[in-house]
Structure 1
Amino acid sequence: MDNFFELNFWEMMLRTTISFLVLLILARLLGKKQLSQLTFFHYITGISIGSISAEIASQKETPFMDGLVALIWWTVLTLLMSYLSLKSPKIRTWIDDEPTIIIKDGEISTKSLKSSRLHMDDLLMMLREQSIFSIQDVHYAVLETNGELSVMKKVGMQEATKQDVKVPLTLPLFMPSEIISDGKIVKKNLDELDLTEDWVMKKLRKHGVDSVSDVFYAQLQTNGSLHISLRKNGI
Structure 2
Amino acid sequence: MWFDAWSEVFRVLLVGAAAYVTLIVVLRISGKRTLAKLNAFDLVVTVAVGSTLATILLNSDVSFVEGAAAFALLATMQFLAATVSSRVKAGRSVLTARPTVLVSQGVLLEDALRRQRVSADEIRQAIRSSGQGDISQIAAVVLETDGSLSVIAGDKIGDWSALAGLPDIPAEPRR
The normalised TM-score by structure 2 is 0.75
Please list the CA deviations of residues 34-56 of structure 1 after superposition, one character each: whole Å capped at 9, or x if unmatched: 21334333233223212311221
1:87 aligned partner: 87
Distance 1:154 1:37 in 2: 26
Aligned CA distance change for structure 1 residues 48 and 37 (closer, same or farther; 3 Å) = farther
Question: In 1, distance between residues paired with 2:37 and 2:61?
Answer: 28
Query: Which residue number in structure 2 is paired with residue 8 of structure 1?
Result: 8
Which structure is larger by alpha-carbon Rg, 1 or 2? 1
2:77 maps to amino acid: L
Q: RCO higher in 1 or 2 (8 Å CA, sep ≥ 6)?
A: 2
Asked if 2 retains the 8 angstrom alpha-carbon contact of 1:141 and 1:149, the reply is yes
1:105 is matched with: 105
Match of 1:22 in 2: 22
Contact 1:55 1:62 in 2 (8 A): no
Note if contact 1:12-1:60 (Cα within 8 Å) is conserved in structure 2: no
**1: CA distance, partners of 2:150 / 2:7:** 55
The one-letter code matched in structure 1 to 2:102 is I
Q: Which moved more, 1:62-71 or 1:131-140?
A: 62-71
Which structure features the higher share of strand residues?
1
Q: Deviation of residue 113 (structure 1)?
A: 1.1
Q: How many residue pairs end up in the alignment?
A: 152
3-state SS of paired residue (1:146): coil
RMSD across aligned C-alpha pairs, in angstroms? Answer: 2.1
Higher helix share: 2
Q: Output one character per residue of 1:1-55: Cα deviation in whole Å (capped at 9) or x when no partner.
A: xxx7232122112211221122012101221122133433323322321231122
Q: Is the partner of 2:141 in helix, strand or coil?
A: strand
Unmatched 5+ stretches in structure 2: 157-175
Q: How far apart are the structure 2 equivalents of 1:94 and 1:108?
A: 28
2:118 is aligned with what amino acid? Answer: L
Quote the residue 1:75 is aligned against. Answer: 75
| 1:55-204 alignment, distance < 5 Å | 55-57=55-57, 59-64=58-63, 65-155=65-155
> What residue in structure 1 maps to residue 36 of structure 2?
36
